[in-house]
Amino acid sequence: MAAKGSSTGRKTTKSPAVKKTGSKSTKTTAAKTTAKKANTTKNTKSAPKRETTRMPESRERFGDSILDEVILIVIIVISAVVFISQITSKMGVVGQVIGGLFQGLLGISGVLLPVLVIIYCIWMLMSEERKWSLVRAFGGALFLLTVASAAYLFHPLNVSGDLGFAKKAMELFDSGSLTNGGLIGGLFGGGLFGLLDALGSVIVLLAMLVISIILATGRSFFGAMGTLADHQKVRRQVRNEKIKNKADRIRQEEKMEAARLEKQEAKRRRVMNKEDFNIELHEVEATEHPEVKETVFRQKKQDYSVKKREPIYDFVKENEMPMEEPKWDFNVVFGGKLQVDELEQGTQMPPKSTERFKVVEPLKEVAKKQEPVEMTEEEAVYEKIFGEDNTVENMAEETPEEAWDMESRAAALAAEAMRAAEEKTDFHFADLEDAEETASPEMDMPEVEEPMAEEEMPVEEVQPVAEEMPTDVPAAEPAKPEAQKETAQQPAAAPAEPAEKPYVFPPISLLGRDPGNSSGSGILEQQKNGRKLEMTLKSFGVEARVINVSAGPTVTRYEVSPSQGVKVSKIVNLADDIALNLAASGIRIEAPIPGKAAVGIEVPNKETKSVYLRTVLESDAFRKHPSKLAFALGEDITGNPIVTDIAKMPHLLIAGATGSGKSVCINTLITSILYKADPKEVKLLLVDPKVVELSVYNGIPHLLIPVVTDPKKASAALNWAVREMLERYNDFAACGVRDIKGFNAMKEEKGEPEAKMPQIVIIIDELADLMMAAPGEVEDSICRLAQMARAAGMHLIIATQRPSVDVITGVIKANIPSRLAFAVSSGIDSRTILDMVGAEKLLGKGDMLFYPSGQAKPSRIQGAFVTDKEVEQIVDFLRKSSRPGYTQEMVDQITAVAKTASGPSEETDEFFEQAVDLILEKEKASVSMLQRQFRIGYNRAARLMDELERRGLVGPEEGSKPRKVLITRAQWEEMQSPTEENA
């Protein structure tokens, strides 16, 4: 079909030429009887000539017409006749003549000649390349000559040497047959043999054979050899590929099998966990927010773990953190004396838990083994607070100068003992006694076991029994009941007697120790990911090398150095593709890493690791930090502890979606202060409109006033803070100093250390709630504090889960330079907090971007983790060892401020009269004008405008135009006068 089609096509293209030729021959030859035939003949003959100009493509092709095909068929038939005539005598006389002629001339080659011709013609018919080739014909002839000569050499004819050439030739011709080379073979082969003998002749003939084949086929001999080699190479490659694929398949199957097994194992573990945990719907004890409910996973009630208030955190954490079970309690309380069997006997620990209470070497001995280290004065003090050798024995050996320490630590130990007993029995000593009065350094340790033995009884029964035998408990003399929780909930009613009592730093053992078993990404995984990263970038045309890898607790950073001419933005744009190739949940790209000629690609670890607050607090960075406001933030991307100074920030904005880790961060901040600063040096003002987050701190000595939960009071507290700040400025001016440092240094010099000013940290957990309640006042106070409080030693920490512009207003943002962003839901939120995207890529659970003032770019940090339970323990300890620092007087003072602060805003805004003056002066009114003029928030300005409208002073809203002022100054004065008269 194709051949037919092409032949039709060819005919169509050829027709004009045919026509032209026809007209030309008509002109030259007058009488043409068979014009068509003549035309056709002429056409075939003259075609090559014409086609040089008109149809160059068809000139090269033989067989474009049917006639060509006919010619080829005729040639094939003639060749067949020649061939048959030579192999049989049945072709008659003609056959005999033809046979004799060909065999006489060529011998065996006479048979090969028609065969070759037939093959060639068939090839011509089949092939697309239809052109006669002289070279091929020559190659064929050479081949026949070679064969004939070879036949002569192998089968020489016996020709008499005496004959002349003509006779000799006749004889060769006559004796030509299928077994020899005939006349031509005899002449050429004979000549060759005569000249080169047998070997030389064979070599020449072989050479001729190769040349003839090359010429006839048109294929290069060496090319063919090369192709053969290539074919073999390709075949080998294919075979290798197949083997590789098979290996890959097997590996894949193995992987899938491993994944399946892992899944099964995980399922099994989940089932086991489910058996261990009950799901309870826990209603938080906040009566003001009865709708607040959380689903928590709690360990099944065990006789030793029943407690009224359980911390709320997810069960994974509970599993991960062995500190939940007070291994360290026993170290500290019993100084390593208590043995496992005693414990088991006394506490009825379940077998799983007792593993953790292994025999602990007495700490004193451990201390002895340690090499004496030279300590600075500060470290020595620190060691007293943080060291684990604060056992009773050690305390007994202490000098009288350290008596305060002994006393306070005795209180601490008593508190520990009580807490341990409480944990075991659900019995709260706080309900019965005053820990301070009963603390005694000479505690009789074994007695401690007795209340624990009560554990064997059902929990319900423990309480009455405990009440009946208070003397059984070492630090449990009957005392006036002091309801600590009531203190927490009704702070104003907690008058604190001003008792001069030194602050006892909470022991570090109250915080859980890092078990150190979980790891970040392994080295192998890092190498694999590094290679994948390079390959991925390469596949997108980015030449880059991974030059360094830093593995942090939750993410691993690959430092990629791009080649010359690669745009950094190109790598940044590939973030999603890289995440896809590394099968990562999401990656963040830091381009470039500040101070390095590399781009940081942060990939989440498959296994994340919690950063324990204790680890950071025990680090030199925290211990040796000179500031009392050192904040143990967490660990950076390389796993180094990060400690920052709140005093330098000087104010901090913390924002992040719900559940991202803000509250834990605030807890670590407060805990850092509790471990670093005496209440005389640092005071806290905690504002918690959410009620549940910070109320736990009620009763600690650092608090200026009890935790403020009422938004109205919060705004009053901020007003108080502003006044305090201004008073401090007055004091500075009076003393001729510039800031709190100068003031305190001066007082120290004068020998009046008690007159020193404490630094104040104001912490607001959830700004959004405050902004809703009293937007204008809160914004005003925050701004004034943020602008001026630094020198006065007052610092603001503001947290919010709503990073929107109506909460974090431009004014607030402009005045709070340091930012801490936790995971947020969108790039827009990230921009609101950090002025750049990135926080939306964070992983949650304490993964944060810390952007302090003065730093070029935010740095990624995994926040330290402190559990609610640990916080409770620390607070319990502080409550028992010291008194709250606030007085009723102070609380009353703030309440009074609250009244005045809420007074005018409830009725008429304090700016009302000034607003009237302003609109009368400008003869127009708009909310933005009021905002600008009085520096108040939108809500307050809008309320002011509503009030103006209600009183008929301004007209209604007119879209974007300012409102009309409906009265004149004279009218307003008239309106005012009767009021004044009444007044």
Ligand X SMILES: Nc1ncnc2c1ncn2[C@@H]1O[C@H](COP(=O)(O)OP(=O)(O)OP(=O)(O)O)[C@@H](O)[C@H]1O
Q: Are 877 and 413 in contact (CB under 8 A)?
A: no
> Distance (Å, rounded) from C-alpha 314 to C-alpha 426?
22
Encoded amino acid at 373, one letter: V
Question: Between 85 and 800, whose beta carbon lies closer to ligand X?
Answer: 800
When asked if residue 845 is in the footprint of ligand X (CB under 6 A), the reply is: yes
Report the nearest approach of ligand X to the CB of residue 518 (Å).
11
Query: Which span (311-319, 372-380, 751-759, 887-895) binds ligand X, by CB under 6 A?
Result: 311-319
Query: Which span (289-297, 497-505, 560-568, 860-868) binds ligand X, by CB under 6 A?
Result: 860-868
Tokens of 33: 């009887």
The verdict on whether residue 903 carries a ligand-binding annotation is: no
C-alpha distances out from residue 208 to 140, 214, 224, 289, 561, Å: 11, 10, 18, 107, 63
Query: Which span (18-26, 528-536, 568-576, 863-871) binds ligand X, by CB under 6 A?
Result: 863-871
Provide the 10 A C-beta neighbour count for residue 874: 24
The verdict on whether residue 662 carries a ligand-binding annotation is: yes
Tokens of 259: 């994944």
Enumerate the β-bridge partners of residue 761.
Answer: 684, 795
Tokens of 589: 């790209």
Question: Between 148 and 864, whose beta carbon lies closer to ligand X?
Answer: 864
Interface map 619-658 toward ligand X (x if CB under 6 A)? -------------------------------------x-x
Interface map 774-813 toward ligand X (x if CB under 6 A)? ---------------------------x------------
The verdict on whether residue 660 carries a ligand-binding annotation is: yes
- Options 62, 313, 315, 912; binder of ligand X; rule CB under 6 A: 313
- Options 335, 863, 884, 962; binder of ligand X; rule CB under 6 A: 863
Report the nearest approach of ligand X to the CB of residue 869 (Å).
12
Report the nearest approach of ligand X to the CB of residue 908 (Å).
36
Interface map 582-611 toward ligand X (x if CB under 6 A)? ----------------------------x-
CB neighbours of 54 closer than 8 A, spacing ≥ 6? 17
Q: Are 476 and 433 in contact (CB under 8 A)?
A: yes
Report the nearest approach of ligand X to the CB of residue 520 (Å).
14
Question: Between 313 and 938, whose beta carbon lies closer to ligand X?
Answer: 313
Question: Between 330 and 822, whose beta carbon lies closer to ligand X?
Answer: 822
Report the nearest approach of ligand X to the CB of residue 609 (Å).
9
> Distance (Å, rounded) from C-alpha 206 to C-alpha 529?
62
The residue behind tokens 């043995």 is: 339
Residue whose CB is nearest to ligand X in the complex, by number: 846
Report the nearest approach of ligand X to the CB of residue 867 (Å).
8
The verdict on whether residue 658 carries a ligand-binding annotation is: yes
CB neighbours of 466 closer than 8 A, spacing ≥ 6? 425, 427, 451, 454, 473
Check residue 347 and report its DSSP letter.
H
Q: What is the largest CA-CA distance in the chain?
A: 169
Question: Between 108 and 821, whose beta carbon lies closer to ligand X?
Answer: 821
Pairing verdict, β 759-765 and 682-687: parallel
Question: Between 26 and 804, whose beta carbon lies closer to ligand X?
Answer: 804
Following DSSP, what letter does each residue of 898-938 receive, concatenated? HHHHHHHHHSS-TTHHHHHHHHHHHT-B-HHHHHHHHT--H
Question: Between 142 and 637, whose beta carbon lies closer to ligand X?
Answer: 637
Strand residues in 285-393 grouped as ranges (E): 293-299
Enumerate the β-bridge partners of residue 636.
Answer: 861
DSSP collapsed to 3 states, 429-471: HHHCCCHHHHCCCCCCHHHHHHHHHHHHCCHHHHHHHHHHCHH
Report the nearest approach of ligand X to the CB of residue 860 (Å).
13
Burial class of residue 967, CB neighbours in 10 A (0-12, 13-18, 19+): middle
Site for ligand X in 677-736 (CB under 6 A): none
Task: Specify the 3-state DSSP secondary structure of 801.
Answer: coil
Report the nearest approach of ligand X to the CB of residue 284 (Å).
11
> Distance (Å, rounded) from C-alpha 529 to C-alpha 581?
9
Provide the 10 A C-beta neighbour count for residue 331: 22
Question: Between 181 and 656, whose beta carbon lies closer to ligand X?
Answer: 656
> Distance (Å, rounded) from C-alpha 908 to C-alpha 920?
18
Question: Between 391 and 660, whose beta carbon lies closer to ligand X?
Answer: 660
Question: Between 54 and 317, whose beta carbon lies closer to ligand X?
Answer: 317
Enumerate the β-bridge partners of residue 174.
Answer: none
Question: Between 291 and 371, whose beta carbon lies closer to ligand X?
Answer: 291
- Options 24, 54, 130, 317; binder of ligand X; rule CB under 6 A: 317
Q: Are 954 and 964 in contact (CB under 8 A)?
A: yes
The verdict on whether residue 556 carries a ligand-binding annotation is: no
Report the nearest approach of ligand X to the CB of residue 801 (Å).
4
Query: Which span (286-294, 504-512, 680-688, 862-870) binds ligand X, by CB under 6 A?
Result: 862-870
Report the nearest approach of ligand X to the CB of residue 766 (Å).
7
The verdict on whether residue 223 carries a ligand-binding annotation is: no
Provide the 10 A C-beta neighbour count for residue 27: 8
Report the nearest approach of ligand X to the CB of residue 841 (Å).
17
Residue whose C-alpha is closest to residue 75's, from 138, 124, 109: 124
- Options 99, 491, 530, 846; binder of ligand X; rule CB under 6 A: 846
Question: Between 174 and 314, whose beta carbon lies closer to ligand X?
Answer: 314
Report the nearest approach of ligand X to the CB of residue 285 (Å).
16
Question: Between 599 and 692, whose beta carbon lies closer to ligand X?
Answer: 692
Site for ligand X in 654-673 (CB under 6 A): 656, 658-664
Report the nearest approach of ligand X to the CB of residue 663 (Å).
3
Tokens of 129: 């390349």
Q: Are 349 and 423 in contact (CB under 8 A)?
A: no
Backbone angles phi, psi at 193, to 5 degrees: -60, -40
> Distance (Å, rounded) from C-alpha 795 to C-alpha 685?
10
What is the total count of residues that contact ligand X (CB under 6 A)? 18
Q: Which residues bind ligand X (CB under 6 A)?
A: 313-314, 317, 610, 656, 658-664, 801, 845-846, 863-865
Known binding-site residues equal 656-663
**Binding-site residue set for ATP:** 656-663
